[in-house]
């Protein structure tokens, strides 16, 4: 329900308290990247690319979840199962003793409200038919109200009260990332308006008649090139109807293909920075695991669509 980047940061933060040695932790962090990207592929708010497809009216939240959930689970279960036989995951994991920390009174309440606010966004869109960002802004306003209402004033020192303000959290937004996505979307929209994407789609269909192969190559390409421009381009290139099988396949491949290389997704880049994971170490030790999951999940999705299981 939370996006793959947030999930990766939270889980690696927890992992640091459980696995003291960095060399071992890199393996676990890499598997977290695979799981986070696979989890984000089936949710309309789990990854930037699925959100783009959802907002462009290419997929609905219900059908996206219905078709892509099982392949996404396969995508991370396969590498997890294979990895369980590797020596690094054998034996007993000694968890170091840590100092007990006291949670604030309403910490759990605010956490649950945050999850519910994110889950509410697809429901809001389906009921009101308003753009998803309206629902997200409403969720933000609700969280702002409750966080101020439940702020642990009596438990905090006066000089630390400002640290629990949503205003402070919003001040940490990365404007550079927002401008990056804005620039990509403007560039792709320009190519679409002059017909370049449409003509390229026609050439691509002639060169590679099988659309499934095209989409798989798009997913593999997303591990090298950022998946946002690839999905934005595919939205402009193809005119398939709402909830067409191809859009579900694009959501899966673009979301999970980024796991093939550590630089292929925002979650991977975050893990790379937090755990100092080397690009070549990841390519040598994790690439084959991620690729196995990617292919098995893709085959599962194609089989489900071919057999009309849903």
Q: What is the pLDDT along the chain (310 residues), one digit of tens a residue?
A: 678 888 898 899 888 888 888 888 999 999 999 999 999 999 888 888 898 899 888 999 889 999 999 999 999 999 999 999 998 888 776 666 665 666 667 778 888 888 888 888 888 887 888 888 888 889 889 888 888 887 766 666 666 666 677 777 777 776 776 787 788 778 877 877 887 777 877 787 788 888 889 899 888 988 887 788 888 888 888 888 998 999 999 999 999 998 999 888 888 888 988 888 999 999 999 999 999 999 999 999 999 888 876 5
Domain of residue 287, residue span: 4-104+152-307
Position 12 in a domain: yes
pLDDT at 132: 80
Residue 253 belongs to a domain: yes
Residue 77 forms part of a structural domain: yes
**In terms of Cα–Cα distance, which of 183, 175, 174 is closest to 226?**
183
Residue 286 in any domain: the answer is yes
Position 116 in a domain: no
Confidence (pLDDT) at 281: 94
Buried b (16+ CB within 10 A) or exposed e, 190-225: ebbeeeebeeebeebeeeeeebbebbbebbbbbbee
Q: Looking at the domain assignment, is residue 34 inside a domain?
A: yes
Residue 88 burial (CB count, 10 A)? 12
From the list 207, 301, 195, 306, the residue with the least C-alpha distance to 255 is 301
* Token pair listed for 189: 């929209």
- Decide if 132 contacts 60 (C-beta within 8 A): no
**In this structure, is residue 123 part of a structural domain?**
no
The answer to whether residue 147 is domain-embedded is no
* 8 A C-beta contact, residue 37 and residue 115: no
Neighbouring residues of 28: CB distance < 8 A, sequence distance ≥ 6: 15, 19
- Structural domains counted in the chain: 1
Q: What are phi and psi of 260, to 5 degrees?
A: -65, -35
């Amino acid at each position: 329900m939370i996006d793959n980047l947030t999930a990766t940061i939270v889980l690696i933060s927890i992992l640091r308290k459980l696995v003291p040695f960095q060399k071992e932790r890199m393996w676990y962090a890499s598997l977290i990247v695979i799981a986070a990207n696979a989890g984000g592929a089936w949710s309309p708010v789990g990854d930037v690319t699925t959100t783009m497809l959802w907002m462009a009216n290419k997929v609905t939240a219900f059908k996206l979840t219905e078709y892509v959930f099982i392949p996404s689970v396969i995508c991370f279960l396969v590498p997890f199962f294979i990895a369980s036989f590797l020596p690094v995951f054998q034996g007993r994991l000694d968890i170091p003793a840590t100092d007990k920390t006291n949670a604030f009174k309403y910490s759990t309440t605010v956490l649950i409200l945050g999850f519910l606010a994110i889950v509410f966004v697809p429901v809001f869109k389906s009921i009101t038919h308003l753009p998803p960002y309206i629902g997200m802004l409403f969720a933000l306003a609700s969280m702002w109200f409750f966080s101020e209402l439940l702020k642990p004033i009596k438990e905090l020192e006066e000089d630390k009260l400002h640290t629990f303000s949503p205003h402070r959290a919003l001040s940490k937004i990365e404007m550079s990332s927002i401008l990056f996505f804005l620039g990509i979307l403007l560039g792709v929209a320009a190519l679409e308006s002059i017909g370049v994407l449409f003509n390229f789609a026609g050439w691509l269909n002639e060169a590679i008649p099988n659309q499934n192969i095209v989409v798989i190559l798009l997913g593999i390409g997303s591990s090298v090139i950022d998946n946002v421009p690839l999905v934005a381009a595919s939205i402009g290139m193809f005119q398939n109807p709402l909830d067409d099988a191809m859009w579900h396949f694009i959501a899966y491949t673009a979301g999970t293909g980024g796991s093939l290389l550590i630089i292929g997704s925002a979650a991977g880049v975050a893990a790379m920075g937090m755990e100092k994971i080397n690009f070549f170490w990841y390519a040598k030790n994790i690439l084959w695991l991620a690729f196995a999951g990617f292919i098995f999940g893709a085959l599962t999705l194609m089989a489900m669509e071919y057999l009309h299981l849903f």
